[in-house]
A and B are shown apart, each in its own frame.
Chain A
Amino acid sequence: MKARQVEGLDPAAPLRPNAARLVRVRLDELRSFAPIALEPPASKTQHEMRIAAKRLRYVLEIVGPCFGPEADAARDAAKRLQSVLGEIHDCDAMLPRAWGIESLRERLRARREQLFGEFSELWREQADGGTWVELERSLDRHTFSLQSGESGGDKEIE
């Protein structure tokens, strides 16, 4: 799956506004997969969502310090998503190889079902808990203060 292009990056401009653009695109990308990925059999979309979670996590690992604790929380959330979706993918990949080993196939199917439940709950928890909205607010706050001539950092918009 190719990553979405991020428009308007400027190597000569400060890191923070460039980083905000990157994070916004990766976050949108992640969210765009959720409606389909939350259907149990949608293994292809779940796999794509895992890759999107991975991309968001990696960009936050690099530029997270520019956006405060909300970015750390979002990075951890993306990591948890990536991990559970990765385990679902492992079950999907192993299942055809386990042909004829009924106990293993049974175990993999049960494990997948359990992991899918964990994934749905995790996504709901993260959305209800405001992980992604808080990240967006933090991006706005940090880039707004720069645009208005302040020194960046943690100033709130009033």
Chain B
Amino acid sequence: MARAREVPGFDCEEPFAAAAARVVEVRAAEVFAHSEGVLDLEEIERLHDMRVATRRLRAALEVFDSCFPHKRHRKALKRVKELADALGERRDCDVAIEFLSGLEAETPRDDRAGLAALVERLRAEQREANEALAPYVKPKRLKKLRRRLRKLVKAAKR
């Protein structure tokens, strides 16, 4: 999992709203930096990194919600939550498949077919979750989200 980037100039004595702008700016940049290749089912850690970055951004938006114009903040948070949920759905499948696949060898013969069927169902759900995620990580959509977040940061700096 990627470590959170330092927030340059972070200062506990500066106004809450100024800190909000700094933190959200850095956390937003992290999300977009991890958006490459997240739909690749062979490299599940890529999605994990983007999910972690998205949850950090979401947390920052929630912590600093009083620092942003209400309507603009609500819309941005909604978009970030939608992205986080779509990433989360895929991640849940990735983790469950990994866990169950590791049990195959030690599973009694009688249960092996049941286990294989469960893994197969999860793989189908993983593909569905990936398809549902795809529109959220399209470059155009991410660009729009980036612009929205940039405006939000600008508003907090005022």
Contact = CB atoms under 8 A, between A and B. Distances in A.
B103 A14 contact: no
Q: A22, A63, A101: which has the most chain B beta carbons within 10 Å?
A: A101
Interface residues of A, number: 32
Interface string B8-26: 0011111111111001000
A102 B13 CA distance: 58
A66 interface: yes
B101 interface: no
Q: B14, B66, B103, B107: which has the most chain A beta carbons within 10 Å?
A: B66
Contact of A11 (B56, B59, B66, B111): B66
Given A61-B56, A62-B60, A62-B63, A104 B103 contact: yes
Contacts of B17: 11-12
Contact of B115 (A58, A62, A66, A101): A101
B73 to A, nearest CB: 12
Interface string A1-33: 001000001111111101100100000000000
A12 B10 contact: no
A101 B16 contact: no
B4 interface: yes
A148 interface: no
A13 B15 contact: yes
Contact of B63 (A22, A94, A97, A98): A22
Contact of A15 (B16, B96, B110, B115): B16
Interface in B81-122: 95-96, 99-100, 103, 107-108, 110-111, 114-115, 118
B62 interface: yes
B67 interface: yes
Nearest to A98: B118
A154 to B, nearest CB: 11
Contact of B111 (A18, A19, A63, A102): A102
Contacts of B63: 22, 58-59, 62-63
Interface of B: 4, 10-20, 23, 55-56, 59-60, 62-63, 66-67, 95-96, 99-100, 103, 107-108, 110-111, 114-115, 118, 156
Interface of A: 3, 9-16, 18-19, 22, 55, 58-59, 61-63, 65-66, 90, 94, 97-98, 100-104, 107, 151-152
Given A14-B13, A104-B114, 4 more contacts: A11-B20, A14-B16, A102-B111, A104-B107
